[in-house]
Amino acid sequence: MASDALVDQPTPSAAPSQVRIVDAPQERVHRFTDLLSLIATMLGIVLVLLIGAYATGTTQGITEDVSGFARILQRLLVAPVNIFSGIVTLVIPTVVIIDMAIRREPRRILEMMGAAVLAFVATVIAALTTTYFGADELINSLAIRNSEGDLVVSLPAYIAAVAALLTAAGLRSSHKVLSWSWNLVWASIAVAVISSIVTLPAALVTVLIGRATGLVLRWSIGSTADRAYGEALVAGIRRAGFEPKELVRADVHDEFAAVELDEVSAAMGRTRQGRIYSLTTRENHHLLAVALDGDQHAAGFLVKFWNGLRLRGINARADVSLRHSAEATALVSHAARTAGVRTARVLGMSHVRDTMLIIYQRPAHVRPLSSVPAEDVTDGLLDAIWQQVGQAHDAGISHRSLSADTILVGDDIAADPTVWLTSWELGEVATATLAKRIDLAQVLGMLAPIVGRERAVDSALRAMTEEDLEQVAPLLQMIVMPRSTRHELRAHKDKALQTVRSEIIERMPDADIESENIQRFGWRTILTLFLGVVAAAIILASFNTQEVLAALSEANLWWLLASFGWALLTFVGAGLALIAFSPVKLPWFRTILVQVAAAYLAIAVPAGVGPAALNMRMLSKRRVASPLAVATVALVQVSGVVVTVVGLVALSLITGSEGTLAQLPSTSVLIGVGAVALVVALSLTVPKVRSFAAARVMPMLRQTWPRLSQVLGQPWRLALGLGGNLLLTVGYVGAFWSALEAFGQSLPVVDVAVLFFLGNAVGAVVPTPGGLGAVELALTGGLTGAGIPTAVAASVVVIYRLITYWLRIPLGWIAMRYLQNKGEV
């Protein structure tokens, strides 16, 4: 709710004066740091329990060593345990409650008492749950022996209650009383551990339970804000060197505020972080005051850090403190103004309570570009926007958040197309080339919904050369656009980024504007890596390590080298297949290196995705149209499936091998195949199912068939492509067979091929990096079913995957670096 207050403050001449303030003070805030602390506390509880349960010897040893000091302590102090228990349970809560009463915070007192009660109950429930349902290892880590020699779970609930009370009272750094109280709590816990009243894990868990309860309450209902409002805000502005007469918050409606307030709110309120105030000084100077609050800093810091970590070419600024963030923003703004960019000048700064104040020059008679009707946007205005951005880039400064809200224009656009760039919170000096290209892509993506793709591209070509625009076009992606621009692009589907790229292609048919991957990783990569780690942990846990190591020690080194040689041959086969089906001539050496580089991508993408992506990239770099490149890659994959099936049948007929295949119940297999075929046929009679299948199958057929028709007219290409895929399959089967021979095991070649195809199929279905986990389980199960001992089967699979997956990753990294330096990928 808005408040209109008159604050009596002395002027420099010592005459009394009044400062008119229109503001909406926020008394309680939900601190993001509280949520982070809660998550860290919960993880701490889990970690302490795991260490206590699985490192019992270590924790018990520490507890026993510490307990050895009990007799010495008892000689020095009289009943230390009782004294510290009394201090914790009575003195500390009393002192803190009295302190809060003096500060006139009755609501905080009620919150503290409520947190203490909740923590007490939660600790009692935790103790009972552990006693009746906990594992023996967990109980042993949290229990002490009573006088009768029985183990009793000891979680002192009063300690948890005091910890929750102190947490709900506020930040430890905010009051000295809280700081001293926490010190006494830790001292009492140390005495309890030394006196064998509680184990070390139990003491830590108890405190963490109390802190977690206090944080839950503090986050859910909010905590008292330590922001600068009213007199504190006026004092901060004075500290920055200005004598305020009127201070009006930009996002608060006030009918008596100055007329310029709407202008400030529209132009600055949506574009800057923090609270925005219209400041009128005693000399009637109209300025802008930006208040950055510490409780909002953590979230902004994490967003900047995450974007810098996830996106290439974005240097994460280490704004570890609120002051550092404000100083960095002021530095970039000052550097831009010095370089001739039209932007608001920083006039002063100050720090008061948990707020940093920055005083800016206030642009007069301006409005954001987003409020300008499309028909009023002239070519002169577009050129002025590009000119201001280019001037910043010439000085080595990037903005990184250019949108229709951060760009301000003058009122008289036709006569004087004046442009201001504001909001340099994400800007940086001495910036990278990629950051400048992102700025240009943001301007182009911002202008398309406003003036249309044709005028947007025309203005870009007036501001830069065709070569520069060709470098910018691959960055026309949603991920690099500010939030407001993304919203506008989604609202104007006919003017989306893809249509802008199409317009650039029409102007420059030979331009290579394939989207550039600027993400180091995404959520999908994180998920696949997580699934891979889980799968690897499950596999390693299921193996008998001693038996596997014993089998590995007896492996034949020469057969292992042969297996590695077969694995290297797969790169040659994959390269020959791509060369054969490619519509343009490819250098054989670099094509094979692309297949090697795909092994590096296997650490983060599912099986088969890496080679397809890099093959597409290589073809695109050679000006192959996207539809033709997709058709070529699809043809390579389809031909690989055909060669695999035909090769398996031919191998069975030529060798006359039965082996493992003979153990399959043929009648059951036929019945199963017939049942599956019947289900598929019946499903296709349903229109929706038929449409779904057609939507998945027909695009690949339409893409592949024209290219296949061309290849069929060139028999030597077809033979080379099929031969390459055959060599690829033979290489993997040979590596698997050699790994078996290295352990003195022998299976018919057709059986080895069947098991390989089984593992390959499972790896293609499961979305873990390189099929990690699923391939190992499938191959181990297949070998065990073929009569090979489990320990030996596990050893064979471990060695095979080491050779065909893990050892190829460093080779792929080297190849990737080489190809990137050569501009191939």
Residue 544's contacts (CB-CB under 8 Å, 6 or more residues apart) are 790, 791, 794
Contact 743/796 with Cβ under 8 angstroms? yes
**Whether residue 659 has pLDDT greater than 50:** no
Better-scored residue on pLDDT, 228 or 554: 228
Work out the average pLDDT over 732-744: 88
3-state secondary structure 665-724: CHHHHHHHHHHHHHHHHHHHCCHHHHHHHHHHHHHHHHHHHHHHHHHHCCHHHHHHHHHH
When comparing pLDDT for 315 and 233, which is higher? Answer: 233
pLDDT beyond 60 at 11: no
Residue 10 confidence (pLDDT) above 60? no
Average pLDDT of the segment spanning 22-49:
83
**Could you tell me what percent of the chain has a pLDDT over 90?**
8
Distance CA 576, CA 592 (A): 8
For residue 119, pLDDT over 50 is answered with yes
pLDDT at 667: 45
* Those residues with Cβ within 8 angstroms of residue 78's Cβ, 6 or more apart along the chain or in another chain: none
- Minimum mean pLDDT range among 7-21, 436-450, 783-797: 7-21
Q: By the 8 A CB rule, do 408 and 288 touch?
A: no
Using 50, 70 and 90 to split pLDDT, how confident is the model at 662? very low
pLDDT at 702: 56
pLDDT, mean over the chain:
76
Q: pLDDT digits over 457-478, tens only?
A: 999 999 998 888 888 888 888 8
Burial category of 730 from C-beta neighbours within 10 Å (exposed 0-12, middle 13-18, buried 19 and up): middle
Q: Which residue has the higher pLDDT, 664 or 324?
A: 324
Q: How far apart are CA 652 and CA 658, in angstroms?
A: 8
Q: Report how far apart, in Å, the C-alpha atoms of 214 and of each of 37, 261, 589 are.
A: 11, 41, 63
Distance CA 218, CA 216 (A): 6
Query: Which residues pair with residue 246 across a beta bridge?
Result: 20, 280
Q: Mean pLDDT over residues 148-160, rounded?
A: 80
Average pLDDT value for residue range 209-238: 86
Domain boundaries, the chain: 3-26+226-293+330-361, 29-224, 366-507, 523-821
- Residue 28: Cβ-neighbour burial (10 angstroms; 0-12, 13-18, 19+): exposed
Lowest mean pLDDT among 150-164, 182-196, 223-237: 182-196
Tens digit of each residue's pLDDT (9 = 90 or more) over 292-345: 887 777 666 666 666 666 666 555 555 567 788 888 888 898 899 999 999 888
**Of the listed ranges 24-33, 254-263, 766-775, the one predicted with least confidence:** 254-263
The confidence score (pLDDT) of residue 397 equals: 92
Q: Report the residue count for the chain.
A: 825
| Percentage of the chain exceeding pLDDT 70 | 70
Reference 296, options 623, 636, 26, 659; nearest CA is 26
Q: 728 near 713, Cβ under 8 Å? A: no
- Counting DSSP H helices and E strands in the chain, the numbers are 34, 16
Residue 216 has pLDDT above 60, yes or no: yes
Model pLDDT, residue 258: 42
pTM across the whole model: 0.61
Mean pLDDT over 406-419 rounds to: 80
Pick the range with the lowest mean pLDDT from 154-168, 178-192, 324-338, 386-400: 178-192
Q: Decide if pLDDT at 16 tops 50.
A: no
Q: Has residue 392 got a pLDDT over 90? A: yes
Report the alpha-carbon distance of residue 273 to residue 106 in Å, rounded: 33
Helix (H, G, I), strand (E, B) or coil at 23: strand
What does the pLDDT read at residue 389? 93
- Give the model confidence (pLDDT) of 494-529 as tens digits: 557 778 888 888 888 776 666 666 766 666 666 656
CATH, domain range 366-507: 1.10.510.10
**Residue 442: its pLDDT value, please?**
92
pLDDT greater than 80 at residue 650: no
Query: What is the Cα–Cα distance from 730 to 650, expressed in whole angstroms?
Result: 13
Residue range 567-596: mean pLDDT, rounded:
87
Among 137-141, 324-328, 712-716, which stretch is predicted with the lowest mean pLDDT? 712-716
Amino acid 674: pLDDT: 54
Own/partner pairs for 807-812, CB < 8 Å, 24+ apart?
807/564, 807/567, 808/567, 808/596, 808/599, 808/602, 809/599, 809/600, 809/602, 809/603, 811/596, 811/599, 811/600, 812/596, 812/597, 812/598, 812/599, 812/600, 812/601, 812/602
Given pLDDT bands bounded at 50, 70 and 90, which one contains residue 106?
confident
List of E strands, 426-557: 428-429
| 8 A C-beta contact, residue 473 and residue 433 | no
- Taking only the tens place, the pLDDT of each residue in 250-260 is 766 544 444 44
One DSSP character per residue, 146-181 reads -TTS-EEE---HHHHHHHHHHHHH--GGG-HHHHHH
Residue 57 pLDDT > 70: no
Residue 663 to residues 733, 789, 790: CA-CA distances in angstroms? 21, 17, 19
